[in-house]
Structure 1
Amino acid sequence: MSSVVRDRDRPWWRRSRGGKDDTAVAYVMLIPWILGMLFTIIPFGVSLWLAFTDYNLLQPPEWIGFENFVRLFQDPKIATATQVTLMYTLLAVPISIAAALGLAVLLNRGVRGLNFYRSVFYLPSLIGASVAIVMLWRSIFGYNGIVNQFLGFFGIDGPGWTTDPDWALVTLVTLAVWGFGASMVIFLAGLRQIPRSYYEAASVDGAGGWRQFRAITLPLLSPVIFFNLVLGLIGSLQTFTQAFVFSGGTGGPAESTLFYNLYLYQQGFQRFDMGYASAMAWVMFVVIALFTAINFFASKYWVFYDD
């Protein structure tokens, strides 16, 4: 009887039923998450439906079936945008990971002022590829920018980094590599988890620095490499802000920076072809999911877990 009285004295969300605690408090705590899911799932469903319609924001959507997806294989700019995006990914992701790993290994050797250097290299990733940073990058790599002025001291006539189709994408790749600080900090944390005894044993066996790096560091750091690889691929395939600001939304010069997401933006928010843009978005979603799934499948052949 006393237990019943005590139970009645509790707030309603803590009262027990049948000897079990009421889960009402859990549902109350889940309300923000449930609302967030609704604001995510509903637009997902609407965009999927719009992908099968002809919709221009001015007239009601008209069901056209798979015509938008058929257009994807007939649109020559889709091939150009896909090529630019894949080329950017193949260049930016490996170089960024290699730069982050190399610098993390150097900083892990007991460099004085480690916290200072870690903060300095991490700062660009905090700033991100914002509009101001991309505009600054355009100024630095302009024909009369700092880069060409520096090359001029050595008698080198630098190219038009932002106006030459052969160099515009390279400039954006450089911007992506510049923000490798987040990956470097993750690599540095992973390196700190590798026991020093492994390196000491390898040194006793006569293994040099490069041999230790290949036989100890890389295998034990492979989960961290895999993590940064997956995040890098997903981020690079969704590149938009850099290309939009860099080219003024045109994808120029000569469509050399026409990323897939930038072309999607042009279709949806410049031409108001929302049905076609929705189809493009879902194709991108499927492609990113496939890339991620392939990475997870292939990881069992090269990712090593110490346990």
Structure 2
Amino acid sequence: MSIYQRVSVDAALHVLRDINRKMDVTQNHVTTGQRVAKASDNAVYWSVATTARTDNKAISAVQDALGMAAATMGTAYTGVQNVIDVVSEIKAKLVAASEDGVDKDKINEELKQLQERLRSVSESATFNSDNWVVLNNDATPTQPRQIPASFIRNADGTVSVGMLSYHIDNTPVGSTTSKDARYLIDDRATGTGEYGVLTSDHFATELGVSQNYVLMTSKNGTTTGQVVISLSSTTTQGQVSEMISVVDAALSQLTTVGSAFGALEKRINLQNDFATKLHDNNTAGIGRLVDADMEEESSRLKALQTQQQLGLQSLNIANATYDTVRQLFQNF
């Protein structure tokens, strides 16, 4: 009988080493939850999954931007809606002033309060220090406001960011008109308030009334010739009618502005829903490529543990022959 390592021992050791190697792999899958954790596991799947993960981070950033934009749009829309309510009250006061025997001075006091409220509401429609209804010196009225809306990976591997634009911010064709009043207030020093519905005198000039009536004047712009809508005991019936016409025209443009904000807010919400679904689909795709089947891996681990125990027993049986040889020599 040879006392050198036997074939049976070699076979048992080989089987046990193979079982231990498979157990290490399976244990790693169970611990990490991934069957492709590094490039050496599967270079193609790892590359695709890594790219998809980076794209998901970009999509998450877009979702954050859309969330901020939705909040900003919601604030702007609320501001426009409140201003419409206040201007409607001003119109109602002017209609009441057209009646015979009313105290126009008392009505004018109410008008002043409502006009102060118009500026307060407009300036308060701010979210994260961003106000989309008041134009100041640091803003360009003809420059579209843009919002990151999508992350695009093209077929050639290049990437780009899709933008949503506030679509009524367009450069006017020819001279500025009342239709270019896209904001509530235009306080720019370089203008006359023409881009603000409440500060534009284009409504009055286009109607051909006797005065360049405005609901309020710009803080910094040129206001020469403009007349803030107000009443006094000397205000004529004809002047009241002109003021009502101007206010009604401003209300029509306010409705246009409110509709534009509402439409953009809807687009933002739809785009955010799409980004959420795209993120979820990417995550699911990554999982299909690299995630381990935990039920399968757990079952495999249990089987390998059983095989390991049997392998150890086989090795012990194979090693037992050495004890037999040793016992033979104990009598010498």
Shared fold per TM-score greater than 0.5: no
Interval of TM-score (by shorter of Structure 1 and Structure 2): under 0.3
Tell me the TM-score normalised to structure 2 length.
0.26
Larger Rg: 2
Tell me the TM-score normalised to structure 1 length.
0.27
* Higher helix residue share: 1
